[in-house]
Amino acid sequence: MPRSITPNLWFDDQAEEAAEYYCSIFPDARVVDVVRSGDAALTVEFELLGQRYIGLNGGPVFTFSEAVSFVVACEDQAEIDRYWERLTADGGEEGRCGWLKDRYGLSWQIVPAGLGELVKSEAAREALYRMGKLDVAALREAAAGSGVAA
């Protein structure tokens, strides 16, 4: 029986830089280990909110796509705003419906905790489809207007 599953993120040559960047954004984050060949990092193991990741410097062969994204369930609008701002900074790209790409091209979904319950109403889903960064108050208002408790 496996003890854990660890996402492995393929970078060109920025794995250590990316790990330090992510650790600067999330609380309770740390770089756990760096395996080097000379001065260059080959792999970087890091932890964000208790989840381990491995960053691999594998060269320019593969890039990230929206087929894989990380969902950050936020407690309130301030937390959504903070993660959105930090992850889109310095070359990141805003997307639709709470999605964004960071400066390394990795996709993230910055959403309120309980988003599934919130968008059970068609009105709230329609409001979500019109948003980039999610506005929790607007989603709740749309859900309440449709008779669905949010």
Judgement on whether residues 31 and 96 belong to the same structural domain of the protein: no
Query: Rounded to an integer, what distance in angstroms lies between the CA atom of residue 136 and that of residue 124?
Result: 10
Identity of residue 19: A
Report the pLDDT value the prediction gives residue 149, as an integer from 0 to 100: 52
Domain edge (last residue) among 62, 83, 102: 62
Domain edge (last residue) among 62, 79, 101: 62
Q: What CATH number is given to the structural domain containing 50?
A: 3.10.180.10
Judgement on whether residues 58 and 75 belong to the same structural domain of the protein: no
Domain edge (last residue) among 34, 62, 90: 62
Judgement on whether residues 150 and 102 belong to the same structural domain of the protein: yes
Judgement on whether residues 29 and 54 belong to the same structural domain of the protein: yes
Q: What is the pLDDT along the chain (150 residues), one digit of tens a residue?
A: 888 999 999 999 999 999 999 999 999 999 999 999 999 999 999 999 999 999 999 999 999 999 999 999 999 999 999 999 999 999 999 999 999 999 999 999 999 999 999 999 999 999 999 999 999 999 999 999 865 554
Number of Cβ within 10 Å of residue 40's Cβ equals 10
Judgement on whether residues 105 and 137 belong to the same structural domain of the protein: yes
Judgement on whether residues 83 and 25 belong to the same structural domain of the protein: no
Judgement on whether residues 73 and 2 belong to the same structural domain of the protein: no
Per the structure, the complete domain to which residue 41 belongs is given by 1-62
Judgement on whether residues 97 and 33 belong to the same structural domain of the protein: no
Query: Rounded to an integer, what distance in angstroms lies between the CA atom of residue 134 and that of residue 17?
Result: 28
Report the pLDDT value the prediction gives residue 2, as an integer from 0 to 100: 81
Judgement on whether residues 52 and 4 belong to the same structural domain of the protein: yes
Judgement on whether residues 74 and 36 belong to the same structural domain of the protein: no
> H or E segment at 70?
strand 69-74
* Structural domains in the chain (count): 2
